[in-house]
Amino acid sequence: MKQSIGAVTLLVRDYDEAISFYTTKLRFELAEDTPIGDGKRWVLLAPPGSKEGRILLAKAKNEEELASVGRQAGGRVFLFLHTDDFGRDYREMRRLGVKFNEQPRHEAYGAVAVFEDLYGNKWDLIMLKPRGADEGAG
């Protein structure tokens, strides 16, 4: 059996401002933007080079949903953006005005730094160490 998560819903205030942030600041690709009636759209975004794992933008439709925009994980890191070159992406994201909450750090699992999207959702920019990189050391 093979399964994968195809998309994760992200509540936003406005489709177009979210599309602009993700495509400009994070260089995501707009995979789909299809009207589905009543002002709703099916908007899928993908990180550069990603074949799986999309973000589905959902425009908040009531006060309860609006209150959750930017706090879908209660203030914790919500999403994890994996990269094949941490330094390149960290520098480029900073140049483009992405807000990082900390300096890059090196953990047992790899290089990581927390950043925020335009709504305040926390993300990890992360480059995992190759499996077995520390095995046999020491």
pLDDT, tens digit, 9 for 90 and up, residues 92-111? 999 999 999 999 999 999 99
If one counts the domains in the chain, the total is: 2
46 in a domain, yes or no?
A: yes
The whole-chain average pLDDT of the chain stands at 94
| 3 state SS of 10 | strand
User: Is there a domain that residue 97 lies in?
Assistant: yes
Same domain, 79 and 56: no
Give the tens place of pLDDT for each residue, 62-73.
Answer: 999 999 999 999
Residue 138 domain-assigned? no
Same domain, 121 and 99: yes
Residues 54 and 94 in one domain: no
Beta-carbon contacts of 11 under 8 Å, excluding residues fewer than 6 positions away, are 58, 59, 60, 65, 68, 69, 72
Q: Which of 29, 61, 93 is the last residue of a domain?
A: 61
CATH number at 14 reads 3.10.180.10
CA distance linking residue 28 with residue 96, whole number of Å: 13
Q: Are strands 122-128 and 77-82 parallel, antiparallel or unpaired?
A: parallel
**What tokens were used for 91?**
């520098």
Rounded to two decimals, the pTM is: 0.89
Q: Does the residue 110 lie in any domain? A: yes
Question: What is the pLDDT confidence band of residue 52, given thresholds at 50, 70 and 90?
Answer: confident
Which domain does 104 fall in, by range? 74-133
| Amino acid 87: pLDDT | 98
Whether residue 121 sits in one domain with residue 87: yes
Q: What is the pLDDT of residue 138?
A: 42
Question: What's the pLDDT tens digit per position in 113-128?
Answer: 999 999 999 999 999 9
Query: Is the same domain home to 91 and 115?
Result: yes
Predicted confidence (pLDDT) at residue 137 exceeds the cutoff of 50: no
